[in-house]
Amino acid sequence: MEHLTSRFYRDVFLYLPINKKDKFMIRFLTAGESHGKALVTIVEGFPSNITISSEDINHQLKRRQSGYGRSARMKIESDSVQILSGIRFGKTLGSPISFLIENKDWTNWQEVLDIEKSAGSIKKITIPRPGHADLVGVFKYNFDDIRNSIERSSARETAARVAAGSVARNFLAHFGIHIGSYVESVGGIYSTQDYFNQFLQNKTSLGKNGWDISIKADKSVLRVLDKSQEKKIINKINSVKKNGDSLGGTFITIATGVPVGLGSFMHYDRKLDADIAFHLTSINAVKGVEIGNGFLSAEQYGSQVHDEFMNDGKSFSRKTNHSGGIEGGISTGLPIIIRAAMKPISTLAKPLNSIDLSSMKKVVSRYERSDFTAVPSCAVIAESMLAWVLAKHFLIKFGGDSLEETTDNFISYTKKSFSRIRKGFRK
Ligand code: EPS
């Protein structure tokens, strides 16, 4: 009896903690204030032997910084990564990878953000901006200076995420998975060409590789695919600058080459679509995420929405991709298509009404240097977040401590499992 009990404990304690799904979970942490000395990222859990260079990361950082309508801050910063650990001779070691990105603007903020001295004559910020994290931060963290809310809630932090996403991108590229994005609209100005619908119909002329879409989008200062749309948006941003207002917009993020089988319907927190929605809404100012034809599908008949199956003898696919590449929380093998909405920037040069927390009197809100719109940057950050989620689910499925081991597992799955299914149940 005693023997059986101890065997039970051995089984439970030995096998549960090394559950495959937890062992291969990647994670990252970021640290840093918007105007502090630097941003720091720690990335953990990737296998060894993934090729990565500071040039790869800097390219993504530069893409995140660009876009018409950004603040004067972008003229101060030119983000560049310092790799501190986890990479040797251009390849991951399997150990924690750490990155540092300096804030050049810090030299102008050293006194305001001093780490050890007391506030002294530094003026506290007492007027919260509607829509920003200013007021909720004061309530939640018991701050008496809104500066403390502003610093960490700033979207500056997303530079650190893009660095983490670069590792995920390089890892995925090894398996032919490529991620891209474009801006669909800014301030309600859309292209007359419905590129999004072309993706849903599985009939896009924009290329089979997600990254090609980004290459096209990166040629535009707004990351749009249509020149006439770009002109209209620039005019609108210019008028917004004059009027002291701001704009939001929508953007599309796409991943191609994703194999069937990432994610799971076995439990709510293993669903790929749920995880994507979480990661995208975690981006500052993102207020909505649609997978595939999302909200439109609620208005249509089932016969219009669901993607019919096709088998041409070689491959098993779907006629359309309204589902955005995910059914039952699992990737279908078609491109993952995500549309997301970013609200307008909260800081307005012509401010809304607010309350001064030092007097509790009604005042107009305060203005602090900010962007007029940042939708192009947001789309680049979304690419990083999508890369991250896909790398996570890829490793949950295929595991591996080295890239070679992950590759063996992946090949075995695609060759053996797929050919079994392709033959049909009876053969
Ligand atoms: C941001 C306000 C602006 C943006 C910033 C995000 O910064 P500042 O207050 O220094 O002008 O430029 O974004 C970045 C610095 C960046 O690198 O993206 C905010 O309030 O969220």
pLDDT tens for residues 65-82? 999 999 899 999 999 999
Alpha helices in 142-259 (DSSP H): 147-153, 158-173, 195-200, 210-217, 227-243
Q: What is the pLDDT of residues 304-336, one digit of tens each?
A: 999 999 887 777 789 999 999 999 999 999 999
pTM: 0.93
Pocket test for ligand 1, best of 73, 109, 129, 343 (most atoms within 8 A of CB): 73
Residue whose CA is at the smallest distance from ligand 1 atom 6: 155
Residue 27 in contact with ligand 1 by CB distance below 6 A: no
pLDDT for 119 equals 87
pLDDT for 25 equals 84
Q: How far is the CA of 71 from the centre of ligand 1 (A)?
A: 7
Residue 371 in contact with ligand 1 by CB distance below 6 A: yes
The b/e string for 380-417 (b: 16+ C-beta within 10 A; e otherwise) is bbbbbbbbbbbbbbbbbbbbbeebeebbeebeeeeeee
* Torsional sign, CA 126, 130, 132, 133: positive
pLDDT for 315 equals 72
Any residues with CB less than 8 A from the CB of 152 and at least 6 apart, and which? Answer: 33, 34
pLDDT for 427 equals 54
Residue 104 in contact with ligand 1 by CB distance below 6 A: no
Residues of the chain with pLDDT under 70: 1-24, 422, 426-427
* Torsional sign, CA 201, 218, 212, 292: negative
Q: How far is the CA of 73 from the centre of ligand 1 (A)?
A: 7
Residue 162 in contact with ligand 1 by CB distance below 6 A: no
* Torsional sign, CA 194, 223, 374, 28: positive
Residue whose CA is at the smallest distance from ligand 1 atom 3: 370
DSSP 292: T
Pocket test for ligand 1, best of 68, 154, 373 (most atoms within 8 A of CB): 154
Q: How far is the CA of 245 from the centre of ligand 1 (A)?
A: 16
pLDDT for 156 equals 97
Residue 73 in contact with ligand 1 by CB distance below 6 A: yes
pLDDT for 63 equals 98
Q: Which pair of tokens denotes residue 108?
A: 């102008």
Pocket test for ligand 1, best of 370, 373, 375, 384 (most atoms within 8 A of CB): 370
Q: How far is the CA of 91 from the centre of ligand 1 (A)?
A: 32
- The number of the ligand 1 atom at minimal distance from the alpha carbon of 346 is 20
- The number of the ligand 1 atom at minimal distance from the alpha carbon of 34 is 15
Q: How far is the CA of 116 from the centre of ligand 1 (A)?
A: 24
Q: How far is the CA of 384 from the centre of ligand 1 (A)?
A: 18
